[in-house]
């Protein structure tokens, strides 16, 4: 591997470390890599070693960040994610019902017309329009329940 | 976790769980300060182990957090590292423990006639 390519590879691996680590060791680590490559070590193995080190560095709890605080933050993030997924999955049905109810159509009629096409893979344009979020739910297959 | 003579853990083998790389680094630093490249070369000569640079920096950070080594002011772009007094004490305890285990192992091999 030629020198500029090798140093680019190592640079990319070093960019995976947290900023705090790069401020402290970044220059030195790049220089060490250059010396090792000059000694005949392969740039790939050095980059891999730095990549693994970066992974460990991200996973190591920092002294300022208590483990309980980190776990709490992770739990909150997970529960927010789950809530968002649940909200997104219930949105099409509610969105399909809302405009038809406003026009005085019953729920069963709405089911028949809008989202309930058992066994069908067709897109339901009404659902998408009322959601206003095209990328979220493009296809709505018929569900297992009888309507 | 910090290691000192006053916290009641002076006789404990704190290096038992830090990994081989950290122990090799401490052994290498026992005869004087070294920077990363010199450490890798010395450990290769000393133990025939090639430390990857990622492993080296991970172990250096861990040892520094434990106050077993300290970094000296940068010389050009390289930081030399030096073993601290608690680091030297911890290394002594660990090597004593390894010697006991090694002696026991040799004795058992002799007794077993292997």
Which residue does chain B place closest to A47, by CA atoms? B54
Flag whether residue A7 sits within 8 Å of chain B, measured between CB atoms: no
B54 and A49 in contact by Cβ < 8 A?
Answer: yes
Contact present, A30 and A14 (Cβ < 8 Å)? yes
Pairing type for strands B81-83 and B69-71 reads antiparallel
Which chain B residues are Cβ-neighbours of A56 within 8 angstroms? 54, 58
Instruction: Say if B40 falls within a structural domain.
Output: yes
Q: What are the sequence ranges of the domains in chain A?
A: 3-59, 67-131
The per-residue pLDDT of chain B, averaged, comes to: 89
Q: Of B36, B37, B55, which is closest to A49 when you measure between CB atoms?
A: B55
A124 with A117: CB under 8 angstroms? Answer: yes
Considering only the beta carbons, identify the residue of B40, B61, B77 that sits closest to A28: B77
Question: Is A25:B26 a contact under the CB 8 Å cutoff?
Answer: no
Residue with tokens 């950070």: B61
Q: How many domains does chain B have?
A: 1
CB contact A37 to B (< 8 Å): no
Residue B1 lies in a domain: no
What CATH code is carried by the domain that includes residue B103? 1.10.10.10
pTM of the complete model:
0.64
For residue B86, is it within any domain? yes
Q: What is the pLDDT of residues A77-120, one digit of tens each?
A: 656 665 665 566 565 555 555 554 444 444 444 444 444 444 44
Quote the distance between the C-alpha of residue A114 and its chain's center: 31
Position B65 in a domain: yes
Q: Residue B90 belongs to what domain range?
A: 14-111
pLDDT of residue A145: 47
Q: Is residue B8 part of a domain?
A: no
Say whether A32 and B36 touch across the interface (CB within 8 A): yes
- Give the tens place of pLDDT for each residue, A26-81: 999 999 999 999 999 999 999 999 999 999 999 877 666 555 565 565 566 656 66
User: What's the rounded Cα separation, in Å, for the pair A36 and A50?
Assistant: 13
Asked if this assembly's ipTM is beyond 0.90, the reply is no
Place of tokens 């460990």: A56
Nearest to A61 by CA among B113, B62, B87, B32: B62
Strand (E) or helix (H) holding A7: helix A3-14
Between residues 64 and 123 of chain A, which touch chain B (CB distance below 8 Å)? none
Q: Which residues contact B19 (CB under 8 A, 6 or more apart)?
A: B59
Is B7 within a domain? no
In Å, how far is B36's CA from the nearest CA of chain A? 7
Residue of B75, B91, B77 lying closest to B26 (CA atoms): B91
* Residue recorded with tokens 């772009």: B77
């Amino acid at each position: 591997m030629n020198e500029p390519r090798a140093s680019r590879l190592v640079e990319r691996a070093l960019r995976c470390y947290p900023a705090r680590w790069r401020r402290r060791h970044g220059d030195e680590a790049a220089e060490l890599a250059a010396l090792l490559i000059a000694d005949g070590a392969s740039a790939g193995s050095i980059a891999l070693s730095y990549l693994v080190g970066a992974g460990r560095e991200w996973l190591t709890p920092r002294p300022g960040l208590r483990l309980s605080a980190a776990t709490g933050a992770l739990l909150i993030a997970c529960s927010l994610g789950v809530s968002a997924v649940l909200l997104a999955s219930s949105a099409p049905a509610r969105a399909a019902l809302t405009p038809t109810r406003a026009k005085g159509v019953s729920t069963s009629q709405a089911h028949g017309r809008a989202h309930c096409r058992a066994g069908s893979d067709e897109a339901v344009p009404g659902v998408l329009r009322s959601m206003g979020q095209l990328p979220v739910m493009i296809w709505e297959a018929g569900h297992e329940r009888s309507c | 976790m910090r290691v000192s003579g006053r916290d009641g853990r002076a006789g404990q083998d704190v290096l038992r769980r830090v990994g081989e790389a950290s122990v090799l680094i401490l052994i290498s630093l026992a005869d004087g300060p070294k920077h990363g490249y010199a450490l890798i070369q010395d450990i290769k000569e000393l133990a025939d182990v090639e430390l990857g640079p990622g492993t080296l920096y991970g172990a250096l950070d861990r040892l520094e957090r434990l106050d077993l080594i300290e970094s000296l002011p940068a010389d050009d772009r390289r930081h030399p590292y030096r073993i601290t007094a608690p680091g030297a004490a911890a290394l002594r305890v660990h090597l004593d423990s390894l010697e006991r285990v090694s002696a026991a192992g040799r004795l058992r091999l002799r007794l077993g006639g292997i």
